[in-house]
Amino acid sequence: MSSDAGAEAAANLTAASEEATQRIRELTERFIASAKAAGNQSLDAYEKSLRTLVEFQEHAAGASQLDWVSNIAAAHAKFVSDVSAAYVSAARDMLK
């Protein structure tokens, strides 16, 4: 009798640990999905703010009456745009 009770207890323990493992796995997957969604939202906000900054710099470049100031401001706006596009692209690839 005691070996039957021990086997039953072991089976119950195994089933309970498998259920707990499955719940933990599902919770982890939901957490990862939520973290990816939050990361993408952060990247969207970052991209939008940089786009606003670049537009401002381009506007400032066009408003200057000095060619060298316009050229520097336009070059800086392009640099910021190119670097941020590469950064955002790499970050989005990591979130896939």
Residue ranges per structural domain of the chain: 2-94
Q: Which two tokens stand for residue 37?
A: 């969604």
- Is the pTM higher than 0.85? The answer reads no
Average pLDDT of the segment spanning 15-28: 94
Evaluate whether 24 touches 43 at the Cβ level (below 8 Å). no
The Cα-based distances of 2 to 8, 12, 49, 84 in angstroms read 10, 15, 70, 68
The string of pLDDT tens digits covering residues 39-89 is 999 999 999 999 999 999 899 888 988 999 999 999 999 999 999 999 999
